Structure 1
Amino acid sequence: MKVIACYSMKGGVGKTATAVNLAYFAAKSGLKTLLIDLDPQGASSFYFRVKPSSKKWAERFFNAYESLVKHIKASDYENLDIIPAHLSFRNFDALLADLKNRKNRLKRVLKGFKQEYDLVILDCPPSIGYLSESIFIASDLVLVPVIPTTLSERTFEQLITFFEDNIYQLKKIVPFFSMVQWQKSLHKATIESMVARYKVFLNTTIPYSSDIEKMGEHKAPVDVFASSTQANAAYMKLWTEVSEAHL
């Protein structure tokens, strides 16, 4: 079983759209896939029409594998299950602060799924803290969408520095450019500069597209309602590149 975290310290970069579309294509390719929505906003759960439990249960999330199993819900798609987010997940950092061996808690809990799933995808909140560190340790791959702008470049540099300062495995970080508008000179210049500085960027870029924005309207991955679009082709290519090179 492999674990992919769709993560960014910055919000609004296409992280959840990536998690949703990759989970969909992974399941479509035949992999038994579990998407865990760790973001208390619950956007990826919403896209898959999966509602969270009405009861708070964040305080039991890191206790044991059995605590998570009862919250697994089937999606509308074969091979794809969801653990939906709950607003109480916003307290994860505070909860982890009081736990022993907190950095390894998520990894320990996820091990319970290895007999049932080929792939676990984590949709992560845009923050840096105890939860993020637990995610970095639990994941085989930290997939980072980067908008080609100065601020996003700075945020990516901060993530690299955080990994270096805390002696996490830099090879886990796999960035790609998201919400790209090739007609913008800033986007072109930033991509050229960052690709030259960092040799780890994926070849695939995700375009800025209204079709991706319409995922909320349709409550579905792009392939379901706009299969012939450039955006869907980009997500298909992203899944192919990630799966062939890193899984």
Structure 2
Amino acid sequence: MNAKRNFQVGIDYQRDDRGENISYKNANYNELTAIYWAWKNLSDVDAIGLVHYQRFFFKPGCRKTIDNVIGQQDVDLLLKNHDVILPEKRNYFIESNYSHYVHAHHEEPLLKTRQILAERYPEYLEAYDVTMQSNKAHMFNMFVMKKPQFDAYATWLFDVLARLEPRIDVGTYSVQEARVYGYIAELLMDVWIETNNVNYAEIKWGVTGRKQTVSKVYDFLLRKFFQTNANLRKIHF
């Protein structure tokens, strides 16, 4: 899947600006524009999934190389007994999901999201609070879901985000922070999973290509202990 703003001639991927789409929101929604496109335009499929150009699901017990990325047979086997496939949870160890978020981003979107759930989806509030207090989460908007579960998830997610849009002014955010809806969606995954008691499998994930682990750890600790979030990029390490 190729976002319109990343389109290059000669790369023969499905674009997110064809059919019913929100491609024009990519600067704020990130990979969610691809999820939206799949939700609105794919019907005759059994399952839908999302990974990133460098972040993939890997086979167990194997090195994290492109040759060991899971394939169709691996997915089919997992979906025989589960409705959803998720990456192993990210563990932040020394802080909660909530504090990790606010050390890297504006707090307002989290507060507004909770308000929306209280008003529109109160049955999700308990899972939201538990997720915020936990130091682990299924991150990155990575998943494979059977089509019925995917449709239910997308219907809920995009309704919550549509209600969030008029409540925050991304015009005052930096380019990085303006990607807020993608960031919020990462934390909403577990809220949806836990509220609906979804049967899921966790598998190994990883990043191919060059990683800057030392730099990322440094930035993470700087945010945590010195409260410097305004000009630091979001870090996953």
Question: TM range, normalised to the smaller chain?
Answer: under 0.3
Higher strand proportion (structure 1 or 2): 1
Q: Which has the higher contact order (CA 8 A, sep 6+)?
A: 2
Give me the TM-score of the superposition, normalised by structure 1. Answer: 0.22
TM-score (norm 2): 0.23
